[in-house]
Amino acid sequence: MEPSVLCPATVPSVERKFHVLVGVTGSVAALKLPLLVSKLLEIPGMWKHRSDPVLHIDLRRWADLMLVAPLDANTLGKVASGICDNLLTCVIRAWDRSKPLLFCPAMNTAMWEHPLTAQQVGQLKSFGYMEIPCVSKKLVCGDQGPGAMAEVETIVDKVREMFFQHASVQQS
């Protein structure tokens, strides 16, 4: 079973805290996790304490938004097929689809360009999940092309946008 990590974080909103659950898969882009989390914590009011993981149902109830960054090819295939063999895939499978789930694909260009990948990304979108598209650049493996996880600032901007949408709904 691949390693996966869930990092709960909390941002206060007008009436209650806004919770962001970050899922991390085995992609080499996971190297960006410390930078991503530190940038997310810079969002004004972001809670700086992370709790120990709890059961997948408790996590899905706790979170207002789920971010899977990076989403590697293996986990993409699992989620698209309904496989839930670790805590991350169980949370995604149990996810309340009325809440946003953002995913950031990250994989080798050859994997990204495989026909199954487009089908699997389409499957996740059909569930109502939102893709933050990968980018084209020189990958860690030396290949040049699409498949790199979106830039950290792009991801943080999307989470910030979702947070402010949530805050404005809470004020209404």
Angle between helices 73-81 and 115-126 (to 10 degrees): 50
Assess whether 104 carries a catalytic annotation.
Answer: no
Which among 82, 93, 125 has a CA at the least distance from the CA of 23? 93
Task: Tell me which of 84, 90, 134, 141 is the catalytic residue.
Answer: 141
Sign of the CA dihedral 46, 128, 97, 81? negative
Which residues are within 8 A (CB) of 54 and not within 5 positions of it... i.e. 6 or more apart?
A: 62
Q: Cα–Cα distance between 88 and 109 in angstroms, integer? A: 24
What are the residues whose beta carbons fall under 8 Å from the beta carbon of 32, sequence distance 6 or more?
70, 149, 152
What are the beta bridge partners of residue 5? 24
Q: Is the dihedral of CA 160, 106, 136, 128 positive or negative?
A: negative
CB 24 within 8 A of CB 4: yes
- Residues acting as catalytic residues: 141
